[in-house]
Structure 1
Amino acid sequence: MTLEPFQIKIGQDRLDLLGERLRSAVWADEAAGGEGWGYGVPGGYLRDLVRYWRDEYDWQDHEAAMNRWPHVRGEIDGVTVHALYERGSGPAPLPLVLSHGWPWTFWDFAKVIEPLAHPERFGGDPDDAFDVVVPSLPGSVFSAPSPSGVGWRRTAGLWVNLMAELGYERFGAHGGDSGAFVTAQLAHEFADRLIGAHLTYPALLGADTASLRREDFAPDEVGYFDARRSPQANLTHFLTHTLEPQTLAWAMQDSPVGLAAWMVQRRQAWSDCDGEVERRFSRDELITSFALYWLTGTVGGSLRFYADSFRLPWTASHDRQPALEAPTGIAVFPRELTHVPRALAEQHANLVHWTRMPGGGHFAPAEEPGLLVDDLRAFFRPLRELDRAR
């Protein structure tokens, strides 16, 4: 392992190339009256977003904000891994690894890093502090390039070794989207290393969630089933990324406008924004996520993570039950892509914490950072005491 301090620095030549691509974009035709989102991202919105990216957005400002935090980068088990790493204050910070998904990046956790690491700065209890570790998924952004075969199963093992390299034999874990599957695999395969696993996406390994029916939900849960998103909201990107990631990568890495369209569609469809994506994400936040992938040349790696994760069915590492052995907490955000009955979660996980949130969607740390911080603190408080008593 070769973890070393790392500073983000995108070269001016790369930024100049991006500017050229944005200025010379070739726009597709559009059906008359197609300004709504029914056919995908409308041209009027996308043109204005790209204009802002080209003329007003300042990458250096956001690069400086990222570099406010310490980072490490190095090779672990043959895979390049980057992580933001902020040591917490307080008497005994609990080590916590936060795993993102797609089209997230590590920077989707920007609003929760300081409150988690330094609660006293926000009127909180220093005893709730965490040592916060936010890696980039293999193949994404600064964790690139990545060899084939590195999906969420193998990533769980990488995170164990990453945390050990940072000095932690036991730690907590949280994740959403693909990061929820990484966290669930940690709770399954490496339960002895985990203080607790906290999820915002119900990644119940081995559970049949595809055939859930309305009657499977308790009376006070059926609203989640009734409000579920159509399968097409999930399948468009999932099938393409899993079956043809490289084909799509050529187009999106070549065109930052195409990349912006593909990614902003997911932000608009999957967040709790009532169809207005900028109710949840500022333009700068949206563009920074696009820029991180395009400037680092890692669009392909981020898409291949799907293929390396989901082409083969999950297989258990052991036959002990429940599959998620480590103490597990699930935060239920109402506009998440998938919901499960609490009874199913209790069957497949060592469920000790279940919170139904008043708002928020698929991008919990960016949409509702305060709710997520509060829930992480509440989930880990009793687990800290149990871990000290080991």
Structure 2
Amino acid sequence: MSTEKFSIHIPHDDLHDLNDRLARTRWSRQLPGEGWSRGVPVNYLKELADYWRDGYDWRRHEARLNEFPQFVTEIDGQDIHFLHVRSTEPGALPLVLTHGWPNSFVEFTDLIGRLTDPSAHGADPSQAFHVVVPSVPGFGFSAPPRGTGWTATRVARLWAELMRRLGYDRYGTQGGDFGAYVAPELARAAPDQVVGVYVVSGLGFPTEKDVPEMNDQERAAYTELMQQDWMNGVNHHALLRAAPQTFAYGWHDSPVAALAWMTQKFHEFNATGRPLEQAIDRDLFLTNVSLYWFTGTFGSSAWPYYDSTGSGWPEGQTAVPTGVYSGPPGIRRLAERHNTIVHWPEDNPAGHHFIAMDQPDRFAADMREFFAKVR
């Protein structure tokens, strides 16, 4: 199958339409309650929307995204968009990065150079990677799934075929959020090609049924997990399973509705203790929001939820070695029921759920450390 070069160019009329819709927003009044207790505060969102309209420069960030070599190819009847950034270092290990929800390939904008050119960032050049970043079907510039029945396993098979077409017969795989489900499935799909699976977190997360056999330290980890904002905020799993079409009308028609939804989730996913705009650069956040808006993929990106029957933590796999960026609040003993763990740091800096956007230096360093053990 052919692979075509791809470049982003959003029509000027789409930019004008976005600004016009932002300018004509019909703002809701602020509800009683402190801070974020009722959702995104009106004043916070107004300031962010004003900046999106008058301060944020899409064309500048579009040009930055176009600095990465991009392509489109058809696999299993799906048009798949992907970045393919080769390192100049001999012996670089190919690496597939899988983004999460509600994110996109923008998640890795600040990470890719640290992986392909480690010497430019003070790291060992022998630990370089050729980086492949596919857009999950229904996200960004990848076509929405045709029909129902899609799973992380099916996405992983697409990635295995993509890597075969690119000529890679030995590679690593990384994923966070939804990517933490896809990356292990890629190892299952291509165990003779994948050298290791690296996930941000999520393996060995305890559940209520594990409590009776826990020691005091493990119970403390479970208590910490249950107190996290992302465990107690808007239940997007249930919402997107029940009525994604209903909510997609608002996200597709109103940029402020879309911005509020994204801000709510990125705020809940923020475990840094810092305001969201300090954890993730505001322009980087808005580039991701803008990509969803311009591609109209708020609804189509919901398929991992509406195609599932419930929510559960990723289990992993035993076909190849596994490493994580952060073990806690997962419990290694539980993770080792389904994984061969060779890398389980407990002292990596905490950060945003999308750690590649928050701490790309530390994330890249830890990824190099894991793959040095398996490459």
TM over 0.5: yes
Alignment correspondent of 1:256: 255
Q: What amino acid sits opposite 2:309 in the alignment?
A: R
Letter in 2 for 1:154: R
User: Residue 214 of structure 2 aligns with which residue?
Assistant: 216
After superposition, give the CA deviation of every residue in 1:286-322 in whole Å (9 maximum; x if it has no partner). Answer: 21111000101111111123222x22799xxxxxx98
What does residue range 176-255 of structure 1 map to in structure 2 within 5 Å?
Answer: 176-203=176-203, 209=207, 211-213=209-211, 216=214, 219=217, 223-228=220-225, 229=228, 232-233=231-232, 236-255=235-254
Question: In the comparison of the two structures, how many residue pairs are matched?
Answer: 370
Structure 2 counterpart of 1:329, which letter? Answer: G
1:381 equivalent in alignment to 2:372: yes
* SS of 2:84 mapped into structure 1: strand
Contact in 2 for aligned 1:112/1:365 (Cα 8 Å)? yes
Q: In structure 2, do the counterparts of structure 1 residues 371 and 216 end up closer, same or farther at CA, with 3 Å as the change threshold?
A: farther
- Deviation, 1:27, is 1.3
Task: Tell whether the 8 Å contact from 1:139 to 1:145 is kept in structure 2 after alignment.
Answer: yes
Deviations 1:219-268 (A, max 9, x none): 3x555333222675366111111222211111111111111111111111
Whole-angstrom CA distance in 1 between matches of 2:316 and 2:356: 27
**Which residue does 2:338 correspond to in 1?**
348
- For the 8 Å contact 2:233–2:268, the answer to whether it is kept is no
Change in Cα spacing, 1:377 to 1:224, as seen in structure 2 (3 Å) is: same
Question: 2 CA distance for matches of 1:120 and 1:232?
Answer: 39
Asked if 1:327 corresponds to 2:321, the answer is: yes
The aligned amino acid for 1:160 is A
| Matched letter for residue 3 of structure 1 | T
The TM-score with structure 1 as length reference comes to 0.88
CA distance in 2, matches of 1:291, 1:180: 24
The answer for the alignment partner of 1:101 in structure 2 is 100
Residue 23 of structure 1 is matched in structure 2 by 23
* One-letter amino acid matched to 1:177: D
1:215 CA displacement:
5.8
Deviates more, 1:183-192 or 1:262-271: 183-192
Q: So what's the TM-score if we normalise by structure 2?
A: 0.92
Higher deviation after alignment, 122-131 or 222-231: 222-231
User: Runs of 5+ in structure 1 lacking a partner?
Assistant: 315-320, 385-390
The alignment partner of 1:324 has SS state of: coil
1:370 aligns with 2:368: no
CA distance in 2 between partners of 1:237 and 1:245 (Å): 10
Q: Corresponding residue for 2:154?
A: 154
Deviations 1:89-139 (A, max 9, x none): 212110000001111111111111001001111122211010001111110
Find the residue that maps to 1:95 and give its secondary structure.
Answer: strand
- Assess if the C-alpha contact under 8 Å between 1:333 and 1:358 holds in 2: no
> Partner residue of 2:37?
38
Confirm or deny: 8 A CA contact 1:272 1:280 kept in the other structure.
no
Q: CA RMSD in A?
A: 2.4
Evaluate the alpha carbon distance shift between residue 275 and residue 375 of structure 1 in structure 2; reply closer, same or farther with a 3 A threshold.
closer
Task: Note if contact 2:184-2:316 (Cα within 8 Å) is conserved in structure 1.
Answer: no
Does the 8 Å contact 1:333/1:361 carry over to 2? Answer: no
Q: CA deviation at 1:20?
A: 1.2
Q: Aligned with 1:198: secondary structure? A: strand
The residue number in structure 2 matching 1:170 is 170
Residue 342 of structure 1 deviates from its aligned partner by 0.4
Counterpart-to-counterpart distance in 2, 1:139 and 1:305: 10
Equivalent pair of 2:100/2:178 in contact (CA under 8 Å) = yes
SS of residue in 2 equivalent to 1:348: coil
Aligned to 2:350: 359
Instruction: Give the Cα–Cα distance (whole angstroms) in 2 for the partners of residues 101 and 7 of structure 1.
Output: 22
Supply the AA of the counterpart residue of 1:194.
V
For residues 325 and 17 of structure 1, the distance between their equivalents in structure 2, rounded to whole angstroms, comes to 49
| 1:78 correspondence with 2:68 | no
Residue 359 of structure 1, CA deviation: 1.9
1:54 Cα shift?
Answer: 0.8
Equivalent in the alignment of 2:309: 311
**Percent identity among equivalent residues?**
39
Distance 1:164 1:286 in 2: 32
Return 242-251 or 158-167, whichever deviates more: 242-251
Any conservation in 2 of the 1:136–1:143 contact (CA below 8 Å)? yes
Unaligned runs of 5+ in 2: none
Measured in 1, the distance between the counterparts of 2:301 and 2:80 equals: 13
Q: Secondary structure at the match of 1:75?
A: strand
Q: Distance in 2 between matches of 1:129 and 1:322?
A: 25
Aligned counterpart, 1:318: none
Aligned to 1:88: 87
